Amino acid sequence: MLWNECVSYFGVKELDKRLLHGGLPEPLLSAKKDPSFFSEWIDSFYARDIQELFSVRNRIGFIKLLHLLLRQSGGLIDFTQLAKLSGLSRPTVKIHIEAMTIAHAVFLLPPFHGSGRREITRRPKCYAFDTGFVSFIKGWDSIREEDRGLLWEHLVLDTLRTIEQENNLFFWRDKSGREIDFVIKKDGLNVNAIECKVNPANFSSKSLKVFREIYPAGRNFCISPNISESYRIRMDDLLVEFHSLQSIFEYFSPFRFQP
């Protein structure tokens, strides 16, 4: 469930509750997080969507791989390391992850690259479909400040996937570790850059400046849950637009009324 739907449909306004409990109605509306819901859901997911549809017989290996992906959600995939930790072969890991993507349990976000020689070009990022499962696997009972930003990225990605074609969504990172959370490929050479910040005051234009030296055409956004009214700031000769997730959804939604 999208963040704006949590507020409008269920009256859940606490960001930390949405991040910790996830967006499925039952845990979202529960006063206390119930770990058994998530473990039972994973068991049911394997039996219903994986074993039956994809004829996967190694339940232990598959579940272990899924747990690893949930724990590392939002990070770069290392197929060799996942094979080592799960006890599966590297080809099997790739097959299982493909099944998970088809079943909408995870989403693979490819790297955006082009003319920059020091860009990450191969390894995708993997995002879990729901933050509640990430916090469950990590054993979190509360959200720490350093974890909030990563989970907020998941909510932003959920919304972007509803308003943009998935094959136009990327992330960008160079080999020095500079990164743009999300890149949206537009017409021609235009690419929009999106950074996710729980606190917009923490936004830095350092990575964006490097990115725009390579890809100068496009709009720059910072999306935060703590913005009530959109605004723009010029930083390092770059115009950056600050928006809430709701305003981004309303502005860019393909279903928005056009007068």
Let me know: does 98 contact 124? Beta carbons within 8 Å. Answer: no
Res. 256: pLDDT tops 70? no
Cα–Cα distance measured from residue 47 to residue 49, given in angstroms and rounded to the nearest whole number: 6
- Summarize the confidence of residues 179-202 as an average pLDDT: 95
Task: Give tens-digit pLDDT for 237-253.
Answer: 999 999 999 998 887 77
Q: What is the pLDDT of residue 91?
A: 97
Residue 14 sits at φ, ψ, to 5 deg, of -85, 110
What pTM was computed for the model?
Answer: 0.94
Using the CB atoms, write b or e for 110-139: b if 16+ within 10 Å. Answer: bbbbeebeebbeeebbbbbbbbbbbbbbee
Inside any domain, residue 1: no
Q: What is the pLDDT of residue 116?
A: 66
Let me know: does 4 contact 245? Beta carbons within 8 Å. Answer: yes
Residue 193 sits at φ, ψ, to 5 deg, of -110, 135
Task: Give tens-digit pLDDT for 114-144.
Answer: 866 799 999 999 999 999 999 999 999 999 9
Residue with tokens 């500079």: 178
Ranking 4-13, 36-45, 106-115, 144-153 by mean pLDDT, the lowest is 4-13
Task: Give tens-digit pLDDT for 193-240.
Answer: 999 999 999 999 999 999 999 999 999 999 999 999 999 999 999 999
- Summarize the confidence of residues 35-44 as an average pLDDT: 97
Alpha helices in 111-144 (DSSP H): 131-138
Q: What is the pLDDT of residue 250?
A: 83
Inside any domain, residue 31: no
Q: What is the pLDDT of residue 258?
A: 39
Cα–Cα distance measured from residue 220 to residue 31, given in angstroms and rounded to the nearest whole number: 38
Provide the residue type at 162 as one letter: T
Q: What is the DSSP letter of 167?
A: G
- Summarize the confidence of residues 106-121 as an average pLDDT: 90
Inside any domain, residue 222: yes
Tokens of 256: 């928005």
Q: Tell me the percentage of the chain whose pLDDT exceeds 90.
A: 85
Inside any domain, residue 99: no
Nearest to 205 by CA among 216, 189, 223, 220: 220
Q: What is the pLDDT of residue 7?
A: 82
Tokens of 194: 């999106």
Inside any domain, residue 228: yes
Q: Which domain holds residue 219?
A: 143-259
Would strands 125-128 and 106-109 be described as parallel, antiparallel, or unpaired? antiparallel
Q: What is the dihedral of CA 208, 144, 70, 174, to 10 degrees?
A: 20
Cα–Cα distance measured from residue 105 to residue 132, given in angstroms and rounded to the nearest whole number: 12
pLDDT confidence band for 80 (50 / 70 / 90): very high
Inside any domain, residue 202: yes
Q: What is the pLDDT of residue 18?
A: 96
Q: Please give the tally of structural domains in the chain.
A: 1
Inside any domain, residue 216: yes
Task: Give tens-digit pLDDT for 43-72.
Answer: 999 999 999 899 999 999 999 999 999 999
Q: Tell me the percentage of the chain whose pLDDT exceeds 70.
A: 97
Inside any domain, residue 218: yes
Specify the CATH number for the domain of residue 243: 3.40.91.50
Residue 192 sits at φ, ψ, to 5 deg, of -90, 140
